[in-house]
Structure 1
Amino acid sequence: MSVSLGEPVPDFTATATGETTVTLSELKGKQVVVYFYPKASTPGCTTEGGDFRDRKEAFDATNTVILGVSRDGIRAQENFTAKQGFNFPLISDKDETLCRLFDVIKLKKLYGKEHLGIERSTFLIDADGKLAREWRGVKVKGHAQEVLEAAQTLHAG
Structure 2
Amino acid sequence: MSLAIGQVVPDFSAPATGDTTVTLSALKGQQVVIYFYPKASTPGCTTEGGDFRDRMAAFDAANTVVIGVSRDGLRAQENFKAKQDFNFALISDKDEAVCTLFDVIKLKKMYGKEHLGIERSTFLIDKEGKLAQQWRGVKVPGHAEEVLAAAQALHQQS
**Do the two structures share a fold, i.e. TM-score over 0.5?**
yes
**1:151 aligned residue:** 151
Aligned to 1:116: 116
The residue type paired with residue 33 of structure 2 is: V
Q: Which residue of 1 aligns with 2:45?
A: 45
CA separation in 2, counterparts of 1:101 and 1:60?
Answer: 26
Q: What do residues 26-70 of structure 1 show as CA deviations (whole Å, max 9, x unaligned)?
A: 000000000000000000000000000000000000000000000
What's the offset of the Cα at 1:3? 2.1
1:135: how far off? 0.1
2:6 aligns with 6
1:2-34: CA deviation from partner (whole Å, max 9, x where unpaired):
422110000000100000001000000000000
Given the two structures, how large is their TM-score scaled by the length of structure 2? 0.98
CA distance in 2, matches of 1:154, 1:66: 15
Amino acid at match of 2:62: T
Task: List gaps (5 residues or longer) in structure 2.
Answer: none
Question: Where does residue 83 of structure 1 map in the other structure?
Answer: 83
Counterpart of 1:100 in structure 2 is: 100
Task: Give identity over the alignment, percent.
Answer: 78
CA RMSD of aligned residues (A): 0.6
**Residue in 2 that maps onto 1:32:** 32
The size of the alignment, in residue pairs, is: 157
Q: TM-score, normalised by structure 1?
A: 0.99
